[in-house]
Amino acid sequence: MEIASIVSFDPDYAHAHPPFAKSSLATDISSTVTRELLRRLPVPDYQGASVSACHHRIWTRAAGLDLEIRSNRAIEAEIRTEFPMILFTVEAVGGEISVAPKHTRGASRPFGPLTVLQAGTAVSVRGKAKRFRQFLLQFDGATLSAQDDALDLAVAFQPRFMFSDAGLSRLCLLLADECHNPHPMGRLYSDSLTLSLLLTLSRARSSAAKSSGGLAPWQMRRLDDYADANLAEDISLDSLARMVGISRSHFGRAFKQTKGQCPFEWLRAKRVERAKELLLEGVLPVAEVAIATGFADQSHLTRAFCRLVGEPPASWRRARWDGLVPDDDGDSGRRMAC
């Protein structure tokens, strides 16, 4: 891949970081300073193409990279992001460009210019176009985590590939243009656009989730896998909601509509089932089984076990081991009260 030039510069960023003087932003992409400036938002390596222009700016909540690419053959690039990102294909002249998860084969036909990526995501950009323009907008997770509760970030950055949204596209285009033609209001204008984009994305996804009612099968699979792998941990409602990319307030309602029980009851039942497995193994005493399955102590496990199974765990195990395994309280003949 060949890069022709870097043509933008953020004076506010340079003022806060003295090593990034304007003279350092030369047209040579190989310079150490330029590579460091682009480190957090690297230029993708478009195989079979050349980048004719690259405009980069850093704002309060995000960094933007506006790229113009030219090619006469098939194009392929891998984009990896350490932070949440929106990838916007501004235009594709003489062809089409697709974005898909890294290991996807035979990606579906493109149908929208927007892709939302979670932190730690790798995607493939493929296609053929004589000229196309892509805008990469990467968000600072540490700054966003301190934002107002109106920003439902778990919802906003739920992965979504190649979709259309006129409002989001317009905001992305304004930010892309801001990279190489800054507004007179500078950072205030750009930060306002970024916040508007986040609010729009968050609310659009929340509305979509609410309109669908319950949870999708893939969401329940993700919850099951997460809970099964972390039963010994203190699993919060927030962590479950984040796993499926919806707000905490909506998660409880959607979960109950899907499973017919609240998340607490579902998780308690999973823990009791896992406790049964450990009890039948006959290796751990009941107190240790309780800790291994996420209960606070043996009494906590006993109460849950009695409620769901109808008898205490030690008695339940004794009945199935035909008296070969004594109760943990040392009394093989006394039945504990439920």
Write the pLDDT tens digit of every residue in 111-142: 689 999 888 888 899 988 889 999 999 987 66
Residue 327 domain flag: no
Return the percentage of the chain with pLDDT > 90, whole number: 28
Return the higher-pLDDT residue of 5 and 262. Answer: 262
What's the number of domains the chain is made of? 3
What average pLDDT does this structure show over 266-292? 93
Return the pLDDT at 103: 65
One domain, residues 53 and 187 = yes
Would the pLDDT of 186 be above 80? no
One domain, residues 72 and 165 = yes
What average pLDDT does this structure show over 14-30? 31
Model confidence band, residue 77 (pLDDT cutoffs 50, 70, 90): very high
Q: For residue 324, what are the contacts with CB-CB under 8 A and spacing of at least 6?
A: 282
Residue 330 domain flag: no
What average pLDDT does this structure show over 155-174? 86
- What pTM did the predictor assign? 0.54
Domain range enclosing 37:
2-211
Model confidence band, residue 207 (pLDDT cutoffs 50, 70, 90): low
Name the nearest CA neighbour of 245 among 114, 111, 155, 139.
155
One domain, residues 33 and 75 = yes
One domain, residues 149 and 26 = yes
One domain, residues 175 and 242 = no
What average pLDDT does this structure show over 75-83? 88
Model confidence band, residue 159 (pLDDT cutoffs 50, 70, 90): confident
Return the pLDDT at 42: 65
Would the pLDDT of 36 be above 60? no
One domain, residues 51 and 153 = yes
What average pLDDT does this structure show over 96-122? 76
Would the pLDDT of 268 be above 70? yes
One domain, residues 189 and 315 = no
One domain, residues 7 and 129 = yes
One domain, residues 198 and 98 = yes
Tell me the average pLDDT of the chain. 76
Cross-strand pairs, 44? none
Residue 178 domain flag: yes
Residues 48/69, Cβ–Cβ less than 8 Å: no
Of 147-156, 164-173, 214-223, 309-318, which gets the smallest average pLDDT? 147-156
Residue 313 domain flag: yes
What CATH number should be reported for the domain holding residue 145? Answer: 2.60.120.10
Return the pLDDT at 142: 63
- pLDDT single digits (tens) 285-328: 999 999 999 999 999 999 999 989 889 999 999 888 765 544 44
CA distance 244 to 286: 33
In angstroms, what CA-CA distances link 268 with 186, 299, 300?
A: 53, 14, 11
DSSP 165-225: -HHHHHHHHHHHHHHHS--TTTHHHHHHHHHHHHHHHHHHHHHHHHHT-S--HHHHHHHHH
Of 32-36, 105-109, 169-173, 294-298, which gets the smallest average pLDDT? 32-36
In angstroms, what CA-CA distances link 160 with 123, 258, 315?
A: 12, 22, 50
One domain, residues 21 and 130 = yes
One domain, residues 188 and 280 = no
What 36-40 contacts at long range (C-beta under 8 Å, 24+ apart), as own/partner pairs, is 38/65, 40/82, 40/83, 40/138
Residue 120 domain flag: yes
What CATH number should be reported for the domain holding residue 295? Answer: 1.10.10.60
Sign of the Cα pseudo-torsion (40, 44, 45, 49, in order): negative
What average pLDDT does this structure show over 184-204? 81
One domain, residues 145 and 23 = yes
Model confidence band, residue 154 (pLDDT cutoffs 50, 70, 90): low
Cross-strand pairs, 123? 79, 101
Highest mean pLDDT among 181-185, 238-242, 246-250, 272-276: 272-276
Would the pLDDT of 33 be above 70? no
